């Protein structure tokens, strides 16, 4: 049975972010990488998150909170990050529940493409500036 992709694309997991998480293919755009990283958070795939994090900003260890339930992803906009770009920005809101309370993460993530692979660099949080 095919599971719908958590990234909200409307595709099944295998035909969407699953192929990226498994290493079968690389993200073609910054948005595709962002969506796959959200899916990795949903599926607790720490190895993928570390692999797609730029080495200059990647934490040595990454521990996800098992009580955090990711509820949905909304892409608000992108700047650059296409097949022909070397940098890109994706602004999104990810809804979640933790300890029975709903909340959301609003981030403007920055990405770079090196040797044909998109990597997450860092992000800022609009409204907290």
Task: Quickly state the pLDDT bin for 127 (edges 50, 70, 90).
Answer: confident
Q: Does domain 17-124 have CATH number 3.10.450.50?
A: yes
Cα angle, residue 53 at apex, residues 114 and 65 outer, rounded to 5°:
165
Chain centroid to CA 3: 18
Q: Report whether pLDDT(19) > 90.
A: yes
Task: Quickly state the pLDDT bin for 46 (edges 50, 70, 90).
Answer: very high
Q: Say how far apart CA 21 and CA 51 lie, in whole Å.
A: 10
User: Which ranges in the chain belong to alpha helices (H)?
Assistant: 17-21, 30-42, 46-51
C-beta of residue 6 within 8 angstroms of C-beta of residue 70? yes
Q: What is the pLDDT of residues 99-109, one digit of tens each?
A: 999 999 999 99
Q: What is the mean pLDDT of residues 31-37?
A: 98
Query: Looking at residue 2, what is its pLDDT?
Result: 60
Q: Say how far apart CA 116 and CA 49 lie, in whole Å.
A: 17
């Amino acid at each position: 049975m095919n599971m719908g992709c958590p990234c909200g694309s409307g595709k099944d997991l295998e035909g969407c972010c699953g192929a990226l998480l498994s290493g079968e293919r690389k993200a073609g755009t910054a948005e595709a990488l962002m969506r796959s990283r959200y899916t990795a958070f949903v599926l607790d795939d720490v190895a993928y998150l570390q692999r797609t994090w730029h080495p200059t900003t990647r934490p040595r260890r990454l521990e996800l909170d098992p009580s955090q339930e990711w509820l949905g992803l909304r892409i608000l906009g992108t700047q650059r990050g296409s097949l022909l770009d070397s940098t890109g920005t994706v602004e999104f809101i990810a809804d979640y529940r933790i300890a029975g309370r709903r909340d959301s993460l609003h981030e403007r993530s920055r990405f770079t493409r090196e040797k044909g692979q998109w990597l997450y660099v860092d992000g800022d949080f609009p409204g907290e500036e």
